[in-house]
Structure formats: C-alpha cells, structure tokens
Chains A and B, each alone.
Chain A
Amino acid sequence: MSDTITRELFDHLVDLAALHLSEDQAEYLRGQLNNQLKAINELAAIPIDPDVPINLHGVPFAEAASAGLREDEWRKYPDAEGILKQAPQVEDGYIVVPDIPHTELK
C-alpha cells in the first residue's frame, strides 16, 4: 500500500483535530503515524469474507444480559453548582467563551 500521511494531509488533520503543534512535535507525530500505518496495513492482507459482520463491543449483550435503555425522562441533577464551578469562566450561571467565528458554509 502506498498510503503515507504527507505533510499536507497531516496539517489538514491537525486543523480538524483543533490542535496547534510546534514544528518538532509535528515531525515526530507524523513519523509515528506513518509507522503505525505500517502495522495497521497488516489488516489489508487478511482474507476477509465481505459478509463477515462488524463487531462493535465484543460481548454480544443478549436480552437477558442487557440493561436496555432507561426511560428518556428529565431529572434534576442535584449539584449543578458543582459542575459550573469547574468551568474556567462563568457569568450569571452561563459559561463564557470567546466570540464564535462566523463561517460561510460551502
């Protein structure tokens, strides 16, 4: 396989990931990603029948073993203040952030 994460693709991923890297970090991380891809590419060599289903969580969770979903009911959280106390900037019970930039959808 010829897949390699080029610098251009890497910079795109960094932007999508909302990261901002120093040059040293960028070079190290790109090298590691490409090494990991060599290991990942071993998957391509496995003969897999296209009908093999995907497995999302190992244990099958048959009905008797599954808790199922709760009723979708609103419940008051007992300590909303305790959660808000962790926010870096709060004003009148609202979390404050810098301006949200305007983006034109393409």
Chain B
Amino acid sequence: MEPCDLNALELTKLLRGKELSALEIVESCLARTAAVDGRPGSLDSGELTAEDQRKVHAFITLAADSARAQAMEIDRRIGASEDPGPLAGVPFTVKDIFCVKDTLSTAASKILANFTAPYTATPVRRMQEAGAIMLGKVNLDEFTYGSSNESSAYQPSPRNPWKTDRVPGGSSGGSTASVAAGEAPLSLGTDTAGSIRQPAAFCGVVGVKPTYGRVSRYGLIAFASSLDCPGPVARSVKDAAAMLQVIAGADEHDSTATPLPVPDYLEGIEEGVKGMRIGLSPDYFRITSFDPVSGELLSQALPAEIEKSVRDAAQVLAGMGAEIVDDVPLPNTRYGIPAYFVISRVEAASNLHRYDGVKYGHRSGLTTNDLKAMYKHTRNEGFGLQPKLRILMGMYVSAAQYSEQYYKRALQVRTLIRRDFETIFEPRGQYRLDALLTPTTPTTAFEMAAVYGDSVLMQYADQLTVPANHAGIPGISLPGGLDDAGLPIGIQLLGADYSEKTLFRVARAYEMATENEAWRKVKPEVLREN
C-alpha cells in the first residue's frame, strides 16, 4: 500500500516514528495525483478527450512546490525534536471556495479567476498550524451552486473515481473525489444543503457537516450565510474527528463561531453504542422527484438498495446494544427543498452583489463611460448560468410584494423543520434519540449530463441532507455499502446541536463492525489494476 492510501492518523504515527518523512508522504500524493487526476480544470479547456473521461480532474490549482516546502519544514521540525502539530505531514486539499493567502481563490467562477486572496480562511490556517500540508485547491460547482460539479467554469469538471462516467456529487465534489482517489487523505469542504455529505456518499468517503457555528466561516466565499458550514472530508471516521478537532472553535473574525469548548472527539470514540437510542424515520424512506413536463412533484419510495443499507446499519448497531426506535416522525422533511429554494436564493443574491468589477475579480474589457453598464457587462461575462439563476430567484422572492408569501413563509417552515428535530432529540421527550439514522441521498451517483440543466431535479439531490442545514444540526455521511452497479451508498447520522462527539462514536461503531465486509475491500475504479 502506498503512503497516499493510508489514513491521516496512520501517517502521523509513521511520521513521528520516523518510518516515513513528510516529503515522502507528499511525493506519494503527488505521484497518485499525476497518475489519476489528468489535466486540472481551466477556463479554456477545449474539447473533452477520451483520456479526459477516464480521469478524476479534482484539482484547479496544484500547489506542488509549496507542499514540498512545507513538508521539508515539518521534517526539519521532527529532526530538531520540535512538536510539529497534531496533523503534521498530512496532506489535504481545499475546496476552492476558501481564501488562502497568495493563492488563486476562484470559487470555480470566471468572475474570480484572477483573484489572489490577501488572507487565509480560519479553517485552512488552523490546518496549516496543526502541521497539515495543503496540496492544492480543488474544483466545485460554481460558487458551490450545484450537486454534481458540472456547473464549474473550470472544465473538465471532476468525475467520480468509482466510475468516471458518473458525477462525484457536489458541491464539494473535488474534495471527495481527491480523497476517494487517494490524492490526499483529508479535504476541507463546505455544506450548505448537503454539499459535503452528498458527494461524500457518492464517492464512498466520510463527510461531516458540523453544527452551524462550530467552525468559523471566515475566509469562506459566502453562498447562503445562515446555512454555510465548513467541514471535513476523510476516508475514516477517526480522521474526520481529528480534522474537526483542529478546525473547530471560536474565532474573533466570525461572530457566529461559538465560544462553547470543543470536546475531545477522539476520546471514547471506540466505546460503542450500548444503550444509545437511534431513530429511523419513515419520512426519510420516501423521496420526492420532479416531473419537468407536468411540473408535478411526485412522492415515491427510496431505491430498495439504499433503504436496505440503512436498515442493515440499524441492525448492526442494534447488535452492538443500541436501541432502535422506529417510526420517528419528521413530517416537515419534504418541505426542506421548497424552503431552501427561497432562503438560499435570497441570501445568495445578496452575497453576489459584491461582484461588480470594482474592488476585485473580473472587470469587463468592453469600453464604457457608464458605471451601471460596466456592472452589467462584468456580471454577464463573469457569472455562469447557476449564479445568474440564483440572483434572479433571490430578487424575485424577496421583492416587497412577494416576500410575505415566499420568504417569510419559508422562514416559518424552517421553524417547523427545526421543531421536528428538537422533538426527537429532546432528552426528556418521547423519542430521546442520541442519533437519527437515514440515507444520505435519494440515489447513488448519477451519470454525467443526466441531470445537469434541470435545476429543480438537481436541487432535489439534496432533499435528505438539507433539513439539517435549515435546523443547524450536525450530520455525518459515511459509506454503507455498494449498489448493484458497484457505486457507493451513503448512510447519514444526524444529532442535536453540538453532538458531533456522539455521532462520531456511532459512526465509528458501525465502521468497526463492518470493517471485514466484502464491500469495504472494493476499490474505486481508477485505483484498480488494469
């Protein structure tokens, strides 16, 4: 096994034992990237070749030289018996929605293609201070607006390492693809409606959406400010816990970052689930789909393979002493997407007004002596279709004459979704759940081009993840098997505010109980010998 295939905590152990150097780890990740990634995303990509269709394309910017320099500094510190930090020598990739000083920070949009960030986002800075090594910036849906990565202005967009004719999910698709393909053991993503958990499910890795406020958003290019959560992507539950340990905590630059102490997530993580109450909800076994012809929303059963994975996981946890609570009602789950269509668009439209060609980013080269004309040309040239769509919807639903009907109502529905979760996690209530177990996604990874272009269908890919964003609660997606096509199935754990430690413990219990399952031995297609 190559160093790039080892988990982060295994790497730190080998590094401290001087069995591996940080430079060897970085070279291993760079070699894997060279083997599987293909050309990085660019604005002027030309035709997609047959070779392109077999590659992962996770990266926009590979920072090989600075990664090597950081690795040499870690090796120097270890040689000098200095403490190199808890994640010393562990390479990580960063979704290109985070500012990192002196690097291009593009949001996968033409409008920020020339933007070099003058400062570093807090979660990235904390990773670097912990000794982790940034390998580069990875691709995403433009401004995070999508669930497949196909909307990136930087093409070729990432492809699923398990089957390269499938999407990796999104919007943190470059993050999850890079981790699944062994290009890095960790990645920093963001989750606004499921953008860490959905691609984690599609790529067979672990993805964590922390409680809103657990991780600072400083330096994150904003989408929907009341929903955005930075979080870890990893190949194991313990790695994800170790990464959250590093990036969580108060930050004077983000007043929503809570001063509540960060617990020791690894302490007791293998103590099992005996006595825990874990819920299953019928409202997560029905899914909604959209018929673009009739415009009707159709309710149907979850695909049988996905439901079976969730129910099997419940059996595994029950076998370890957890009490499974059936029929937990979460009746407002199905309104998550309609409410999200309103709330996220209002916030996105507001956040996107800053891109005007004045202070940074793209400015139209068309000559004009009129400021408003400059704005219009700049925004038309710089934004792709998805940002334009979100701006227009946000302006419509927040207009004075419609905001009562749409925006206020959506915010009331958000209250109902929050109350659903408060009811089931209330320690003195009827359900008293430690965690809710659900599927992460309504399908496994879909084919490239199968959904892109239909913005309603694409949005419904997040229907099982978005309620947690409305409510602010934490969620984890972890691998729960493979479907008949050999694609990963994700299972999701949701919990009360700041219950990440409990969720990690449940997730680790499931991971340990299934470590010898045949599906865990299967590798993504790009890593199989020809």
Chain A residues with CB below 8 A from B332, complex form: 46
A37 to B78, CA, bound (A): 58
Contacting pair B258 A33 (CB below 8 A): no
The reply on B396 being an interface residue by CB < 8 A is yes
Q: Is the CB of B411 within 8 A of A16?
A: no
- Which residues of chain A come closer than 8 Å to B374, judged between CB atoms? 97-98
Is there contact, CB below 8 Å, between B213 and A13? no
Residues A99 and B371 in contact, CB atoms below 8 Å apart: yes
Q: Beyond A33-B389, A42-B335, is A100–B415 a contact (Cβ under 8 Å)? A: no
A43 close to B406 (CB less than 8 A): yes
Which of A19, A58, A100 has the most chain B CB atoms closer than 10 A to its own CB?
A: A58
Q: Is there a chain A Cβ closer than 8 Å to B319's Cβ?
A: no
Q: In the assembled complex, which residues on chain A have CB atoms less than 8 Å from the CB atom of B395?
A: 13, 16-17
Whether A28 touches B385, Cβ cut-off 8 Å, given contacts A36-B341, A67-B250, is yes
Q: Once the chains are docked, how many angstroms separate the CA of A58 from the CA of B497?
A: 10
Does the CB pair B376–A20 fall under 8 Å?
yes
Number of A-B contacts (CB under 8 A): 201
Question: When chains A and B are docked, how far (Å) is the Cα of A8 from the Cα of B213?
Answer: 41
Given A33-B396, A36-B455, A46-B335, residue A87 in contact with residue B359 (CB < 8 A): yes
Give the contacting residue for B358; candidates A9, A65, A79, A97; CB below 8 A: A97
Q: Which residue of B lies closest to A80 (CB)?
A: B118
| A66→B250 CA distance, assembly (Å) | 10
B295 to A43, Cβ gap below 8 A? no
Indicate whether B315 reaches chain A with its CB closer than 8 angstroms. Answer: no
**Is the Cβ of B414 less than 8 Å from the Cβ of A67?**
no
Report how many residues on chain B are interfacial, defined by Cβ distance under 8 Å. 85
Q: A86 with B379: in contact, given A38-B295, A43-B339 (CB under 8 Å)?
A: no
Neighbouring B residues of A48 by C-beta, 8 Å:
409, 412-413, 416
Let me know if B292 and A35 touch, CB within 8 A. Answer: yes
Say if the beta carbon of B125 comes within 8 Å of chain A: no
Is B392 within 8 A of A33, CB to CB? yes
Q: Does B410 contact A (CB under 8 A)?
A: yes
Q: How far is the CB of B158 from chain A (nearest CB, A)?
A: 23
Q: How far apart are the CA atoms of A55 and B340 in the complex, in Å?
A: 13
B379 touches A98 (CB 8 A): no
From residue 344 to 399 of chain B, which have CB atoms closer than 8 A to chain A? 349, 353, 356-363, 368-377, 379-380, 383, 385, 388-389, 391-393, 395-397
Say whether B188 faces chain A, with CB atoms less than 8 Å apart: no
- B412-427 interface code vs A (CB 8 A; 1 in, 0 out): 1111101000000000
Residues of A within 8 A of B471 (CB): 58-59
Write the chain A residue with the least CB distance to B291: A38
Q: How far is the CA of A95 from the CA of B410 in the complex (A)?
A: 39
Report whether A58 and B472 are in contact in the complex, using a CB–CB cutoff of 8 Å: yes
Q: Are B380 and A5 in contact (CB under 8 A)?
A: no
Instruction: Convert B248-259 into 0s and 1s, putting 1 for each residue whose CB lies closer than 8 angstroms to a CB of A.
Output: 001010111111
CB atoms of B415 and A52 under 8 A apart = yes
Instruction: Looking at the assembled complex, report how far the CB atom of A104 sits from the nearest CB atom of chain B, in whole angstroms.
Output: 14
Q: Which parts of B260-299 form the interface with A (CB within 8 Å)?
A: 260, 290, 292, 295-297
Complex: how many Å from CA A16 to CA B396? 10
Interface residues of A in 39-58 (CB under 8 A from B): 39-44, 46, 48, 52-58
Residue contact B380 to A99, C-beta cutoff 8 Å = no
A53, A67, A86 interface centre (most CB from chain B within 10 Å): A67
**How far does the Cβ of A34 sit from chain B's closest Cβ, in whole Å?**
8
A12, chain B: closest CB distance, angstroms: 9
Report B-chain residues with C-beta under 8 Å of the C-beta of A28: 385
Q: A39-B341, A48-B409 are in contact. Are A13 and B358 (CB under 8 A)?
A: no
Q: Known contacts A19-B391, A40-B397: does B415 contact A67 (CB below 8 Å)?
A: no
Tell me if B357 and A88 are in contact (CB < 8 A): yes
A64 CB within 8 Å of chain B:
yes
Q: Are A79 and B118 in contact (CB under 8 A)?
A: yes
Pairs across A and B, CB under 8 Å, 29 listed: A16-B395, A17-B379, A17-B388, A18-B353, A18-B376, A18-B379, A19-B379, A20-B379, A35-B292, A36-B393, A38-B290, A39-B456, A40-B338, A40-B406, A42-B338, A43-B406, A46-B335, A46-B409, A46-B416, A48-B409, A55-B470, A58-B226, A58-B470, A64-B260, A67-B250, A67-B254, A67-B258, A89-B363, A98-B371
9 closest Cβ pairs, A-B complex: A58-B472, A59-B472, A54-B411, A82-B118, A86-B360, A88-B363, A20-B376, A55-B414, A55-B415
Q: With A61-B213, A65-B258, A83-B360 given, name 14 new contacts (CB 8 A).
A: A17-B379, A18-B375, A19-B383, A36-B393, A38-B297, A42-B297, A43-B342, A48-B412, A48-B413, A61-B256, A85-B118, A86-B118, A87-B360, A100-B371
